[in-house]
Amino acid sequence: MTDLRQYIRDVPDFPKPGILFRDIMPLLASPQAMAQAIYAMAQGVPPGGIDQVVAIESRGFLFGVGIAQQLERGLVLLRKPGKLPGDIRRHQYALEYGNDSLEVQADAMRPGSRVLLVDDVLATGGTLAAAAQLVQDCGAEPVASTVLIELEALRGRERLDGMALHSVLRY
């Protein structure tokens, strides 16, 4: 198994001073590393399984497609505001460097379905916590989340209210 850390580039002071950005572009450029990352992330499925994969815009989409295919489950996309037609549910949340919102089509998740949340990085936990709340607002159950990278010093795991979290790389 390849060490996926060699495909993660550190970019200091991005998007603002004091932030160390973990750039996954080198990983995306390697078909082997990308396949290995998707496989490793898919191992985050809890006992009892899941019914749907929910990927968070935008880099979560890159992993969510492969995980959904591997698990043979449908994929739901949580988008930034203004990108989806129809009846929309929205949740606003705070990031470590600003505010944001996530939206989903109101009928995208079946009520009662067990959901696996997918994103690239867990930092402060605001995005995954917002995604979990949005899933609950749609009547589904966020049972687990999987990320490529967890930034442990930011303690984002603590904001997930006990939801199972699988992280492939921890920094």
- Structure-token pair, residue 60: 């979560």
DSSP 84-134: --SSEEEEEEEETTEEEEEEEETTSS-TT-EEEEEEEEESSSHHHHHHHHH
What is the DSSP-derived secondary structure letter of residue 32? H
Contact yes or no for 4/37 (Cβ under 8 A) = yes
Helix (H) or strand (E) run with residue 40 in it: helix 31-42
Instruction: Determine which one of 9, 22, 57, 59 is catalytic.
Output: 59
- CA dihedral (164, 169, 170, 171) in degrees, to 10, reads -150
The answer to whether 158 is a known catalytic residue is no
The answer to whether 5 is a known catalytic residue is no
Instruction: Determine which one of 89, 90, 96, 170 is catalytic.
Output: 96
Say how far apart CA 99 and CA 64 lie, in whole Å. 23
Catalytic residues: 59, 96
